[in-house]
Structure 1
Amino acid sequence: MKNALLRLKLLSSVGFAAVMIAAGPAQAEQKPSESRTVRQSDTVDVTGASDVNRVSESYDAKGVDLGTFLFFPQIEVGETYNSNVFAVQNNSKGDWITSVHPQFRLQSRFPVHALELSGGLDRYDYATYHDDSRTDGHVSADGRINATKTTEIKLAGNLAHGHEDRSSSDAVAAASRPTPTDTINTLLSVKQVLNKLTLTGAVGVDRLTFENVDTNDGSIVRSNLRDRTEITFTQRGAYEFSPGYSGVLQVSENQREYDELDANRIDRSSSGYRVEGGLGLDISQLIKGDILVGYFNQDYSSSALRSSSGIGVKVALNWTPTQLTMVVPALERSVQETTTTSASGAVRTAGSVLVRHELQRNIILTGFASLTRNEYSGAGQSEWVSEARGTVTYAFTPEVFARGELAERIRRSSVDSMGYEQTTTMVRLGLRF
């Protein structure tokens, strides 16, 4: 029955996309050219991960000309001190971590459509706790087809190998090493502009797998019981009732299918939906993003797991009050997966604000602060997680840059042993072309 339902939803989403394509061209909206020094991105950069790309255009990497493509190679080498490597409440242990991050980006220069390929490796070597040394990597592809002046089709895929952070609520504290994970993400979306109405349909499929790990006493942690496939269908309508202001209605459904029962012989598979509406903003280069409020519900296959539901909130904005400063507030309430005993899911309320300021054309200052509340449905467990981070990015030339960062992360849990405090200090030197 579930498989039949998934096929029906997939067909309905594809049919919705086909209807939008067939609707035909309308007058394309003309956007003003970019004039800000601190540039906005099409997607809200909540964490500040792209700070290295925020310096003035005169310090941008030029790339290697490959005809219809530009090739952007980059490598960073860094040193980090982590005051609490294992993210524990008592007897914390610190360590120095040497890291190397080679990356590449291949960007098309097609006259109409677009294609971008990217990838990278992340190598971390611990000076003392060698079992935590690891190599992560990813490759991604993003394509855009402008079928008509007002019809846009996007297809994105990502393949990543990583390791679960020791600070994760689902991480096993006694594991001898971080849990290796593999993720495959795919997303197909179609956007159709019909004068003042913009319709978007999207289908996302994510595959997550976890590798078993040993514990310090020699037993095995069956992390592979968390292997699952997640499918999400999203349909969105936005009507521009005034220049730069749109009324938004967004509906999404999901299916989360686990390969096996968990360690307590419980089926954690679930299905859910989210309905939200609100305001979409696209006011020149001043502010972009959404302010949405609605309702979410997640039902689980096992009667032993309680449904998770409640008020849903999603706020994500890029606000540029001056040419030198950008403010990125974000707030979201949603249901996350968890393996916490007796808990069906984690209802997460996360708020954050990032402030980015161009001190000089080649110096970017970034401050980030977040506060997250996790409530574990059915387990009577909750926690607060706070984070603060300050980053300086300095470009010596378009090819050479440096970054320094100081961060503090604190978790306070209703389960005493789950709390911790962690401070990290990082310095990196980068080379790009």
Structure 2
Amino acid sequence: MAFAKSEPTQKNRRDTTIQLGLFDLVPSLSVTEEFNDNIFLSDSTQKSDTISRVVPALTLQSNWQRARLRLEALGDAGFYAKSGEDDYLDGELGVSAGSDIGPAFAVDGDFRIAKGHEDRGGDDIPTGANEPVTYDEKNTEIALRYFAGDVHYRAAMAFRQLDFDDTALTNGGIANNDDRDRTELRLIMRASYQLGPGREAYGETTFNQREYENTPDDQGIFRNSNGYRLLGGMTFDLTNLIKADLGAGWMSQIYEDSRLQNNEGFSLRAATTWNITRMTALDFRAKREIGETTVTGASGIIGESFDAGIEHELRRWLSIRLNAGYQQDRFEGAGRTDKVTHFGGGVLYVVNRFTELDGSWRYDQRKSNETGHDYRRNRALLTLRLKM
């Protein structure tokens, strides 16, 4: 869950950088102890555990004037006290670069490779899985920007590839996850018009193509699809008081297999941060989009989510936060609807400019119209962050 972060707070928490000529090196390390009372998101058989998580990160950022280069490396290791089969080791490497070509033209590129996991209990996790599902992910994006007076144009091509590993089952068998392997291609075109200082109106069109490696899948279904999303809206940046991106429009996803229900409806994207005072900030996020799933009978998921958070600095070194949200997922064609509510709170103690101590509590509850998908979960977390 993302919590609100006020502008003054962010300024006081700048990472300590190491100057290497024309580059800034930013190393960091966070260590988290988490107690989770329902690690498998089960309604009938709840199992609790304590999880130790270590996240080292390293960023190398250029400070050139007309060109940009950023290298990132991130690790994420989790260790369960009781359920050792759920230990994981994730990581990500990324490089992004860009250049301003003249006063009106810019080009940017980004490439990332990652190894991740999905905990047991997820919707697309095989029944009876004895371990998390691991996967490899590649993301590439190339973007062009052009400025013509008050009108700005941006065009981007994005490519994503997912490769899921097979999973061991509790009965000794192996679950085939190749049905989830896919590539996603997106073409994003955006035009915006400057209405005044800090105000901009925009129109955005996104076309997508989603192709699965196994066609048909083990159920004999062809899950390839094509779709689009149209958005129109405005952005605001009013003297660091209010920052907002508000857009609404229409979305559609057409599936290759006639047995799968085509999906369409209104689309929404909203992100707002309001610095009520120098010490208090309110944050709001909302979206409505079409997601992928391999749940039997479902073509996709139309998801709606709303999140709000507030953060207040009691002192320069001490802040508190509260967060709440609601999410509804409709599995189109399967007749299943899940409703998830969550809320939580936390306290951040800034020991010094190198060290932070963060304690939080989070609660999630899902109610579904299908038996076996309800759950409740409490999580208590204590995190130590080091910036070197």
TM-score w.r.t. the length of structure 2 is 0.95
Q: For residues 122-174 of structure 1, give each alpha carbon's deviation from its aligned partner in whole angstroms, at most 9, with x where no partner exists.
A: 11111111100111111122223122233332211221111113343222342
TM superposition shift of 1:365 = 2.6
Amino acid at match of 1:326: A
Q: Give the equivalent residue in structure 2 for 1:19.
A: none
TM superposition shift of 1:178 = 0.7
Higher relative helix content: 1
Whether the 8 Å contact between 2:120 and 2:129 is mirrored in structure 1 is: no
Distance, in Å, in 1 between the alignment partners of 2:339 and 2:13 is 40
Whether the 8 Å contact between 1:244 and 1:281 is mirrored in structure 2 is: yes
TM superposition shift of 1:427 = 0.6
Q: For residues 59-115 of structure 1, give each alpha carbon's deviation from its aligned partner in whole angstroms, at most 9, with x where no partner exists.
A: 533222211111111112221101001110012010011121111111111122222
Amino acid at match of 1:101: V
- Runs of 5+ unmatched residues, structure 1: 1-45
Kindly indicate whether residue 246 of structure 2 is the aligned counterpart of residue 277 of structure 1. Answer: no
Q: Give the equivalent residue in structure 2 for 1:392.
A: 347
Among candidates 67, 84, 99, match of residue 130 of structure 1:
84
After TM superposition, the structure 1 = structure 2 runs for residues 218-233 of structure 1, keeping only pairs within 5 Å, are 218-233=172-187
Q: CA RMSD in A?
A: 1.9
Amino acid at match of 1:375: R
After TM superposition, the structure 1 = structure 2 runs for residues 41-120 of structure 1, keeping only pairs within 5 Å, are 47-48=2-3, 55=9, 57=11, 59-120=13-74
Distance, in Å, in 2 between the alignment partners of 1:357 and 1:191 is 37
Amino acid at match of 1:365: I
Q: For residues 44-65 of structure 1, give each alpha carbon's deviation from its aligned partner in whole angstroms, at most 9, with x where no partner exists.
A: xx8249x699746455332222
TM superposition shift of 1:287 = 2.0
Among candidates 221, 228, 243, match of residue 288 of structure 1:
243
- Runs of 5+ unmatched residues, structure 2: none
Whether the 8 Å contact between 1:53 and 1:60 is mirrored in structure 2 is: no
Distance, in Å, in 1 between the alignment partners of 2:6 and 2:244 is 22
Among candidates 274, 297, 300, match of residue 345 of structure 1:
300
After TM superposition, the structure 1 = structure 2 runs for residues 180-195 of structure 1, keeping only pairs within 5 Å, are 180-195=134-149
Whether the 8 Å contact between 2:250 and 2:266 is mirrored in structure 1 is: yes
Amino acid at match of 2:21: G
Shift in CA distance, 224/53, structure 1 to aligned 2, threshold 3 Å: farther
Among candidates 205, 210, 216, match of residue 164 of structure 2:
210
Shift in CA distance, 92/54, structure 1 to aligned 2, threshold 3 Å: farther
Distance, in Å, in 2 between the alignment partners of 1:330 and 1:58 is 24
Amino acid at match of 2:41: A
Whether the 8 Å contact between 1:86 and 1:173 is mirrored in structure 2 is: no
Whether the 8 Å contact between 2:90 and 2:115 is mirrored in structure 1 is: yes
Shift in CA distance, 226/90, structure 1 to aligned 2, threshold 3 Å: same
Distance, in Å, in 2 between the alignment partners of 1:194 and 1:321 is 35
Amino acid at match of 1:170: D
Distance, in Å, in 2 between the alignment partners of 1:394 and 1:293 is 38
TM superposition shift of 1:360 = 2.1
Q: Percent identity?
A: 28
Higher relative strand content: 2
Among candidates 145, 148, 160, match of residue 102 of structure 2:
148
Distance, in Å, in 1 between the alignment partners of 2:302 and 2:63 is 43
TM-score w.r.t. the length of structure 1 is 0.85
Distance, in Å, in 2 between the alignment partners of 1:194 and 1:288 is 24
Whether the 8 Å contact between 2:246 and 2:271 is mirrored in structure 1 is: yes
Among candidates 317, 330, 333, match of residue 288 of structure 2:
333
Among candidates 262, 265, 283, match of residue 310 of structure 1:
265
